[in-house]
Structure 1
Amino acid sequence: MVLNRYREKVKGYLEAMVRPLAKIGITPNTITVLGMLISLLGAYLFYLREPGLAALVLISGSLVDALDGTLARMTGKVSRFGAFLDSTLDRISDGAVLFGIALGGLADWRWVFLTFMGAYLVSYERCRAELAGSGKLDVGIAERAERLLILIAFSLAGVKYVKYGVYLVGTLAWITVVQRMWAAYQRLK
């Protein structure tokens, strides 16, 4: 939620980046799949215990991930399936990154598992509450962008710091789970 406040400020830059893609016929769904593939590369680099390289790859993946929606809006190709695909592939990307960290031995697998659960619940709660009629449930201190930024920052600091990023992301994800649970309760009771 914190980083979403800046979305309007970078809108012009994102639009400038996607104009050439629109001209050559690249679709938003193609960008979505590309973003996931980049995240899978980042996950593999975590597995290889190369967190600095993984972080750089995830930075580029995050940029690509921000482009698909912009391209869809600019070209009039916004679709419910595109939103579904984006959300689904984001979950695959998030899980793969955490899995790569665990397999690389960069953080205790139990913490990674708890972080994984929290991150998925944040997303699930929003979807389920909105389907139940809560309105847009974008509350909480650690949505996907914040969690990814934290992992990137700690990964850039080096191998021994990745686990602290996982601890922080896990803690913030669970706080967000509670925040969303409370907000959904207030709206749906």
Structure 2
Amino acid sequence: MLNNYRENVRGYLETIVRPLADLGVTPNTITLLGLIISLFGAYLFYRGEQFWAAVTLLFGSLIDALDGTLARMTGKTSRFGAFLDSTLDRISDGAVLFGIALGGLVDWRAAFLTFMGAYLVSYERCRAELAGSGKLAIGIAERAERLLILIAFALVGYIGYGVYVVGVLTWTTAFQRMWAAYQRLK
């Protein structure tokens, strides 16, 4: 849902990215930096430092929004870049949930089910689009929404509840995508 508003912030993102482009920073470098920041956020969750983990992930979310903008501005979009971004996003998602669970901030089973739902949402989109569904960026909890929910709950010290909320929303989104894929591909 939040991805629908990306055009509204495009000018702001381009203003941030322009100096990076002038320095010769590549989109893939930004993608890798986003992963490193997310891994650090996961580590902070493991340490029980919810507030700082949330701040770190908030900063990482901004970085994550920049790679695509930089690629489009510099004419360096590539299929591999899109693949790398998606792959590292999955690593980031898993690491954050793992850090939360390993830190004892939520029952590992809840983190695992949330992890499965998040991966299923991503997989369904990819698989349905490959099968000819057209763009399947639908559902109430795409990656941006899931991350913002986790950040909001962590900022107030209740990340465990955030994982439960995201878990329910990821599975709801998975069923929404399954239904939409069925309607488009039957």
Q: Determine if the TM-score, normalized by the shorter chain, exceeds 0.5.
A: yes
- Structure 2 residue 151 is matched with structure 1 residue 152: yes
Q: CA deviation at 1:4?
A: 1.5
2:135 is matched with 136
Match of 2:86 in 1: 87
Unaligned runs of 5+ in 1: none
Q: What is the identity percentage for the equivalent residue pairs of Structure 1 and Structure 2?
A: 80
Task: Give, in angstroms, the shift of residue 27 of structure 1.
Answer: 0.2
Q: Structure 1 residue runs of 4+, over 2 Å off?
A: none
TM-fit CA distance, 1:6: 1.7
Q: Which amino acid aligns with 1:45?
A: L
- Which SS does the other structure have where 1:77 is aligned? coil
* 1:174 equivalent in structure 2: 171
Equivalent residue number for residue 74 of structure 1: 73
Aligned counterparts of 2:8 and 2:145: Cα–Cα separation in 1: 17
- Name the counterpart of 2:8: 9
CA-atom RMSD in angstroms: 0.4
Distance 1:35 1:138 in 2: 22
**Paired residue for 1:118?**
117
Output one character per residue of 1:58-94: Cα deviation in whole Å (capped at 9) or x when no partner. Answer: 0000000000000000000000000000000000000
| Structure 1 partner of 2:53 | 54
CA distance in 2, matches of 1:51, 1:91: 21
Which residue number in structure 2 is paired with residue 184 of structure 1?
Answer: 181
Return the TM-score normalized by structure 2: 0.99
Per-residue Cα deviation, 1:37-56 (whole angstroms, up to 9, x for no partner): 00000000000000100000
* Partner-residue secondary structure (3-state), 2:42: helix
Residue 100 of structure 1 aligns with which residue?
A: 99
Q: Which runs of 5+ in 2 are unaligned?
A: none
Structure 1 position 5, deviation (Å): 2.4
Find the aligned partners of 1:138 and 1:13 in 2 and give their Cα distance: 23
Separation (CA, whole Å) in 2 of partners of 1:138 and 1:183:
10
Aligned residues: 186
